[in-house]
Chain A
Amino acid sequence: MIRFRDLRIRTKLAMTFIMVLLPLLAVQAIALLSQSGLQQSHNSSLVHVEFYTGLSFMVSIVLAITLTLAMNRFLARPLEQITRAAARMASGDLRYEVNVDTGDEIGELALAFNLMARQIRDKTENLEKLIGERTEELQVSREKYRSLVESTVDGIVTTDRHGRITFVNRGFEEMLGLGREEMLGNEIWRYYEGGMARARDIMSLLREKGHFSYLEMEIIGKDRNIPIRTSASILRDADGNEMGTLGHFSDLTARKKLEADLKAAQAKLVQTMKLRALGDLVSGVAHEINNPLMASSTIIHLMQKKLDNNDNAEGRRLEVLSRCNQRIARIVNHLREFSRQEVMELKEMDVNEPLRNALLITGQQLLNMQMEILTDLSEELPSIKGDPNHLEQVFLDIIGNARDAMDGREIRVLGIKSHLAQLQNRQAVVVAISDTGPGIPAEIRDKIFEPFFTTKEVGKGTGLGLAISYGIIEEHGGRIEVEDNENGGATFRILLPTVMDRQQAHGETPSTCNDASS
C-alpha cells in the first residue's frame, strides 16, 4: 500500500488541491440540486439551502485544518529542521545532521544539506590541520628569526612612523649599555649624535630610495659615544603605507681602534724613518765638522802654549776662540751620539748602576745649586739587558733637564726612583725622575723628543738630549713617558723590559714595553 508520506510533494500538493477542491465541488453540486428542488417545493427548499451552506462551511474548516496540519507535517517541520541545522552550522557546529526522512524534495534538500555540511566539515578540519601546521612552521621560523635577531652582535631597531622605538634587540641593548625597557617608546634620534638634525637627514635619505646602507655615524651610549655603521629601510604595510623604519647598526669601535693603532704605527714608522735619515745626515755633518774643528783646536792649543802669560789681550782672545771650539765640539759630540754610530753592547745589568753613576757625576753640581735630591732605589730589581754607558747618558740628560727646569725656582727637589712595575702582560723596571720645575706645557709635549727642539737659550741646549735618549731607550725595547706632577713639575718615566721577560718572549715577538701601552 502506498503510504502517504511516500508520495512525492507534487502528488501531495495535488492531493491537497483535490482535498480542497472536492468539498467545494460538493457544495456547488448540492447548491445546484437545491435550486432545481426549489422550484418543486418552495417551502422546504429554504431549509435545505441553509443546511447545505452550513455543511459546506464545516467541511471547509475541517479541510483547512487538515491541510494546515499536513503542510506543517510535510513542509514546515523539515524546513524548520534544516533552518535550525543551518543556524547551528553557522555557529560552528558542523557535526549536527538534519534528520529529515521525508523522501521528497525536502528530504533531498536535507540530504544535500547534510552532504554539504559534511564537506564543509572535512574542508574545515583539513583547514584546521593546515592552519595548525602552518602556525607551527611559522612559530619555528619566527623563533629562528627571533634568535637570529637576538643573538647577532649587531643592533637591530624598529620604529613607528613617528620615529619612536618599537623594538630593539639584545645587540642594540649591549651596544648602548641600556635596557630595552628604557628605550622602547623613545624617539630614536635621542640616541643619535647630532640628534634631530641627523634623524632628518636619515629620513630624507630613506624617503629618497626606501633604504640606505653603510652610513657611518655615532650613537650615544650610556657611558660613551659609539662609532657605528648603519643601514636602514622603511617598513610598509600590505597597502604600501609607511609603518616605520628598520635600522641595523654595526659597532665600529674595534675597527676604529685598529685604524687608529695602524695610523699611530704608521706615524711612528715615518718618525723612525725620518729620524734615521736625519741621523745619517747629522752623522755626515758631524764627521765633516770634526776635522776642521780638530785642526783649529790644535792650532789654538799651540798658540796658547807659546804664550808665557795668558792674561794679556792675545791670551784672552785665544781663550774666546778656544771656548768657541769647545762649544762646537760639544754640539758635534751630541750630533754624533744622536746619529749613534757606536753600536750598543747590551749585557745583563742592574739599572741602578748607571743611575747611581749619573747621580755621582751631577750630584755635586746639584747640591751647589741648592737642590734637594730624594732617591728611592729598589734593591730588588731583576736584571735588564742594557748598555750601562748609554743608559747613564739617558739619565744624565734627564737629570740635566730637571736641573735646568728648576734653576731659579723657589722649591728645588729632584726625585729619583726605581721600582718594578707590572705592565699588561709583562714586567718592566721603571726609573722615574721628577722635578719641581714649571712642567712641560701641553702644546710642546709631543715635540720635546724631536731632534733640535729646545726652549733653552742659544748655547745652553742643542735640543738633542731627549731625542738621543728616546732612541737609546727604544733600542733597549723600552719607552719613555712624560707627565706633569700634581705640584706642577715634570716626571720622566723610563720603562725597560726585564731580562726574564725578554727571554720568555724569545722565539715569539721581541719583548718591548712599547706594545703594552694604553
Chain B
Amino acid sequence: MQRRILLIDDDELILLALGELISTEGYEVVTSSRGRDGLVQAQETDFDLVITDIIMPGMQGFEVCRRLRDLEHYHSTPIIMLTAKSGDEDRRKGMAAGADHFLPKPIDPSDLLDLIAKTLSRESAGS
C-alpha cells in the first residue's frame, strides 16, 4: 500500500522540491502551505507521516503538532519537524508538542529520505 505523507511548509519552493523528492521515492505526498489547512487535510485523509515546518505565518508547527496529537488517528503517527535553527529551544518545545524527529535546515535530501524510510518501516513493524 502506498504510504501517504503530509508536508506542511509556508515556502512554496520547499513544498515543490521536497514534494518532488519524496514522491520520486514512491510515496503519496499532499502539501499544505498553512498550518490550519494542513490540519483540515489531516482530518480528511489518514496520513502515515507528517512533516511540518516550525516557523510559519498563522499557526506555527508546534501548535499543528499539538492539535494533531489531539486527533485520535494521529495519536502515534510519526511527526518530523523541520527547524531553521539548530538550537535546543526548538527541540524542547517540539518534544513537548509531541514531535518525534527534528531535521535542521538546510536538509540533505538523502538524510530526509533515510529518515522517512526508517520511521515508516519502524511504524509498519510496530503496527
- Interface residues of chain A, those whose CB is within 8 Å of chain B, are 287, 290-299, 301-302, 329, 332, 341-343
Contact = CB atoms under 8 A, between A and B. Distances in A.
Most buried by B among A287, A301, A329: A301
A343 B88 contact: yes
Interface in B108-123: 109-110
A290 B106 contact: yes
By size class, the interface of chain B is 20 to 34
Given A291-B11, A291-B13, A291-B14, A298 B109 contact: yes
B14 A295 contact: yes
A297 B18 CA distance: 10
Interface stretch (B35-43, B79-87, B93-101): B79-87
Given A295-B14, A298-B21, A302-B21, 8 more contacts: A287-B84, A290-B84, A293-B106, A296-B17, A298-B17, A301-B110, A329-B106, A343-B88
12 contacts: A290-B105, A291-B11, A291-B13, A294-B14, A294-B105, A296-B13, A298-B18, A298-B21, A302-B24, A302-B109, A329-B106, A341-B85
B71 interface: no
A301 B106 CA distance: 13
B107 interface: yes
A332 B109 CA distance: 18
Nearest to A300: B109
Contacts of A292: 11, 13
Interface string B6-25: 00000101101110110010
Q: Looking at chain B's contact residues, is the secondary structure mostly helix, strand, loop, or mixed?
A: helix
A302 B84 CA distance: 22
Contact of A342 (B17, B24, B87, B109): B87
Contacts of B20: 298-299, 302
Nearest to A286: B84
Contacts of B85: 341-342
A295 B15 CA distance: 8
B74 to A, nearest CB: 26
A343 B109 contact: no
A291 B85 CA distance: 12
A292 B18 CA distance: 11
A297 B106 CA distance: 9
Contacts of B88: 343
A49 to B, nearest CB: 166
Contacts of B17: 294-296, 298-299
Nearest to A328: B106
Which are the 3 A-B pairs with shortest beta-carbon distances?
A: A295-B17, A295-B13, A298-B17
A343 B90 CA distance: 12
Contacts of A298: 17-18, 20-21, 107, 109
Most buried by A among B13, B14, B84, B106: B106
Nearest to A289: B106
Contacts of A299: 17, 20
Contact of B16 (A295, A329, A341): A295
B109 A301 contact: yes
Most buried by A among B87, B89, B109: B109
Contacts of A343: 87-89
A299 B22 CA distance: 11
Contacts of A341: 85-87
A170 to B, nearest CB: 64
A301 B25 CA distance: 13
Contacts of B11: 291-292, 295
B49 to A, nearest CB: 18
Nearest to A292: B13
